[in-house]
Amino acid sequence: MTGYQEVITDPSYRGQIVAMTYPQIGNYGINPEDAESAAPHIRAFVIGELCEVPSNWRATQPLAEYLASHRILGIEGIDTRALTKHLRSLGAMRACVSTELDREAAIAAAQAAPSMAGMDYVHEVSTPVGYHWAEESRRWRLPNQSTGETTHYGELPPLRHRIVAYDFGLKFNILRRLRQAGFAVEVVNARATAAEVLAKHPDGVFLSNGPGDPAALGYIHQEIRHLLGHLPIFGICLGNQILAHAFGGKTFKLKFGHRGGNQPVKDLRSGKVAITSQNHGFAVDPDSLPPEIEVTHINLNDGTVEGMRHRELPVFSVQYHPEAAPGPHDASYFFNEFAALIQTQSRIQS
C-alpha cells in the first residue's frame, strides 16, 4: 500500500513501465519530502484502481495530478495480479501504453522499443554537476499545522568520515542514511575518473544504485578498477554489479528481475535471513568471479548473488537496498559496517 511515490521517483526505474500489485494506489497522495529524486523516472504507471481523493495531512497533491504535471502516462482498471503472473511465466518484456494507438500499432511500438539489455541509462540520470549533500537528514520532520513551525526528532551524529558517492542514479534516502551514519558526502557524476576521486582525499567511496545494463558501463568499470586497493568501497544494487565487472566478473539479465519489499536474503557467513527491498533486472554471475571474491549473500528464491566482498581489500557490496523507504529495514546496518570498515582501515594505515 505504501511506497508508490518512492518507486515512481527511483532513478533505477528509468526507461521502464511499472505495474503496482496493491489493488488501490494513490491513497495518501504525493508528498515532496518522500521523493527519492528530483523528478519521476518511470515511462508509464499501471495500477488496478486509482484513489482520486487522498487522505494524508502531509500530501500536497493527488497522484494523478502529479503524474500529469510530469507528463507521465498512467492507466487503471488493469488486472495487475494476472499481469504479474503473466510476466513471471514469460519474463519481463517490452510494452506500450497509449491513448492514441490502436491495438496493432501499440504492439508494433512495443516490439520496436529498445531492449534493456545493452542499455546505458546512467548517463541520463547522473548529476551533471557534483555537490555536497547538505539536505535535511533527520529521521522525522513534523510541521505544526497551526503555527507553521517544524519539530525535529532524532538529531544527527557528528561527521566522522568524508566519502565520495558516485551517482549512477542515486536515491535521496541513501544520502540521508549515509549522513545518519556520520558520513560527510560529496556526490560526483558517473564519469568521474579515479584520479579525480583520489585527488579529493576521501576516506572511502560509495557506489550507488542505478538503471540499465551494468555490462554496458565499461567506462565506469575501468575507473572503479583503478580505485581498488586505494581506499574502502561500498556498493549498493548497480554498485554491486559494477564492482563485479571491476573485479573481472560478469552479469546476466534475469527473466523477470527482483522487485518489491519482500525478497528473502541469506547471509552465508552467519546463516541469518533478512527480508529486503530490491529493484534490479540483472544479477552477478558467481562463476565468473575470481577466487579473491567471496559471495556473502544469496537470494533464497532463486539462489542468485545478493552480496560479496573482497577477501583482502576493504571492499564489499550488496545487491539489495539497506536504505529502503518505506522499508523493510532488516539490512540498514550496512551503513554502520561501512563506517567501521573505514575506521579499521584508518587505524591500519596509521
**41 an active-site residue?**
no
CA distance 263 to 276: 5
Coarse DSSP helix, strand, coil percentages of the chain, rounded to the nearest 5 percent: 30, 25, 45
CA distance 196 to 316: 22
Peptide bond into 114 cis (omega under 30): no
For the beta carbon of residue 297, count every other beta carbon within 10 angstroms.
26
- The DSSP symbol for 200 reads T
**186 an active-site residue?**
no
Active-site annotation holder among 237, 245, 258, 306: 237
**321 an active-site residue?**
yes
Answer whether 244's CB lies under 8 Å from 287's CB: no
CA distance 316 to 295: 10
**Is 113 exposed, middle or buried, given 0-12, 13-18 or 19+ CB atoms closer than 10 A?**
middle
Nine-digit cell at 295?
559471495
Answer whether 201's CB lies under 8 Å from 176's CB: no
H or E element at residue 273: strand 273-284
CA distance 89 to 333: 35
Peptide bond into 32 cis (omega under 30): no
Answer whether 199's CB lies under 8 Å from 234's CB: no
Answer whether 176's CB lies under 8 Å from 15's CB: no
Nine-digit cell at 133?
549533500
What is the DSSP pairing of strand 150-153 with strand 140-143? antiparallel
Q: Which residues pair with 235 in a beta bridge?
A: 207, 317
- The residue among 206, 127, 224, 192 whose CA lies nearest residue 162 is 206
Annotated active-site positions, please?
237, 321, 323
